Structure 1
Amino acid sequence: MLSVETRAKVGRDAEELPAPRGRGAAVAAVAAVRSVGLLVALAALVVIALLSVWSGTRDIPFTSTWGVLWNPDGTQTSVIIHDYRIPRTVLGLLVGVALGLSGALMQALTRNPLADPGLLGVSLGASTGVVVAIAFLGIGSALGYVWFAFVGAAVASVVVFLLGSAGRKLATPDRLVVAGASVTAVLYAFNSAILLLNPRAFNQFRHWTVGALAGRRMDVVWVILPFVVAGLVLALLLAPSLNALAMGDQLGRALGVNVGRTRILGVIAVMLLCGAATAAAGPIGFVGLVVPHVARFLVGPDQRWVMAYSVLLAPILLVGSDVLGRVVGAPGEIQVGIVTAFVGAPLFLVLCRRRKLVML
Structure 2
Amino acid sequence: MSVTAGPRASIEQRPQQRSRAALVTGLVILLGALVVVCFFSITMGARGVGPGTIWKAFSDYDPSAASETVIREMRVPRTLIGLFAGAALGLSGTILQGLTRNPLADPGIMGINAGAAAAIVFSIMVLGAQSPGTYVWFAFAGAGIATVAVYGIASFGREGATPVKLALAGAAVTAMLTSVTNAIVLNNESALNELRFWQVGSLAGRYFPVFWQTLPFLVIGIVVALGAGRALNGLALGEDLAHALGQRVRLTRIVMFVTVAVLCGAATAACGPVVFVGLVVPHMARMICGPDYRWILAYALVLTPIILLIADIAGRVIVSPGELQVGVVLGVIGAPVFILLVRYRSITEL
- TM-score, reference length from structure 1: 0.81
The whole-number CA distance in structure 2 between the counterparts of 1:152 and 1:298 is: 34
1:11 equivalent in structure 2: none
Equivalence for 1:121: 111
* Offset of residue 252 of structure 1: 1.1
What's the counterpart of residue 289 of structure 1?
A: 279
Alpha-carbon displacement from aligned partner over 1:29-75 (angstroms, at most 9, x marks no partner): 71100000000000000000011111122122333223434443434
Q: Tell me the alpha carbon deviations over residues 132-161 of structure 1, each in whole angstroms, 9 at most, x when there is no partner.
A: 134324567777754543443344345656
Query: Match of 1:284, SS?
Result: coil
Please tell me whether residue 328 in structure 1 is matched to residue 318 in structure 2: yes
Aligned match of 2:40 in 51, 76, 96?
Answer: 51
2:77 paired with 1:97? no
On the 8 A contact 2:199/2:273 being kept in 1, the answer is: yes
- Asked if the contact 1:301/1:359 (under 8 Å) is kept, the reply is no
CA contact (8 A) 2:155 2:161 kept: yes
Contact 2:79 2:309 in 1 (8 A): yes
Within a 5 Å distance, the mapping from 1:148-227 to structure 2 comes to 148-157=138-147, 180=170, 183-227=173-217
The equivalent of 2:3 in structure 1 is: none
Question: Using a 3 Å threshold, how does the CA distance of structure 1 residues 124 and 358 change in structure 2: closer, same or farther?
Answer: same
1:86 is matched with: 76
The whole-number CA distance in structure 1 between the counterparts of 2:213 and 2:187 is 31
Range that drifts further, 233-242 or 149-158? 149-158
Contact 1:110 1:177 in 2 (8 A): no
Q: Which runs of 5+ in 1 are unaligned?
A: 1-14, 16-23
Decide which of 296, 299, 311 is 2:301's aligned counterpart. 311
Matched, 1:34 2:23: yes
Letter matched to residue 358 of structure 1? T
Partner of 2:261: helix, strand, or coil? helix
Evaluate the alpha carbon distance shift between residue 127 and residue 55 of structure 1 in structure 2; reply closer, same or farther with a 3 A threshold.
same
Query: Residue 99 of structure 2 corresponds to which residue in structure 1?
Result: 109
For 2:334 and 2:166, how far apart are their aligned partners in 1?
A: 26
Q: Distance in 1 between matches of 2:209 and 2:188?
A: 29
Does 116-125 or 312-321 show the bigger shift?
A: 116-125
Q: Kindly state the Cα deviation for residue 207 of structure 1 after the two structures are TM-superposed.
A: 2.4
Query: Which amino acid in structure 2 is aligned with residue 34 of structure 1?
Result: L
Bigger-Rg structure (1/2): 1
Matched residue type, 1:39:
V
Q: Residues 292 and 310 of structure 1 are in contact (CA less than 8 Å); yes or no, is this contact kept in structure 2?
A: yes
Q: Indicate the larger mover: 154-163 or 86-95.
A: 154-163
RMSD: 3.2
Aligned-pair CA distance for 1:228: 1.3
CA distance in 1, matches of 2:261, 2:274: 15
Matched, 1:339 2:295: no
For residue 219 of structure 2, what is the aligned residue in structure 1?
A: 229
- What are the superposed Cα offsets for residues 277-307 of structure 1, whole Å, 9 maximum, x if unpaired? 1111011111101100100010111111110
Higher RCO structure, 1 or 2 (CA under 8 Å, sep 6+):
2
The amino acid across from 2:226 in the alignment is: L
Give the aligned partner of residue 51 of structure 2.
62
Contact 2:56 2:68 survives alignment (8 Å): no
CA contact 1:142–1:216 (8 Å) conserved in 2? no
232-241 or 118-127: bigger deviation = 118-127
Q: In the superposition, relative to structure 1, how do residues 310 and 155 fare at CA in structure 2: closer, same or farther (>3 Å)?
A: same
Q: How many residues align?
A: 333
The farther-off stretch of 140-149 and 36-45 is 140-149
- Rate the CA distance shift 1:355–1:179 in 2: closer, same or farther, 3 A: closer
Higher mean C-alpha deviation, range 272-281 or range 190-199: 190-199
Once residues 182 and 28 of structure 1 are traced to their aligned partners in structure 2, the CA distance between those partners, rounded to angstroms, is 38
273, 277, 281: which is aligned to 2:263?
A: 273
Counterpart of 1:260?
A: 250
Alignment CA distance shift 1:245-1:62 (3 Å): same
Q: How far, CA to CA, are the matches of 1:252 and 1:298 in structure 2?
A: 26
Alignment gaps of 5+ in structure 2:
1-5, 7-12
Give the whole-Å Cα distance in 2 for the aligned partners of 1:164 and 1:66: 53
Query: How much identity, in percent, do the aligned residues show?
Result: 46
Question: How many Å separate the matches in 1 of 2:337 and 2:169?
Answer: 29
Shift of 1:202: 3.6
Could you tell me whether the CA contact under 8 Å between 2:18 and 2:290 is conserved in 1? no
178-187 or 259-268, which deviates more? 178-187
For 2:58 and 2:190, locate their aligned partners in 1 and report how far apart those are by CA, in whole Å. 39
Moved more, 81-90 or 339-348: 339-348
After TM superposition, give the deviation of residue 335 of structure 1 in Å.
Answer: 0.9
Letter in 2 for 1:61: G
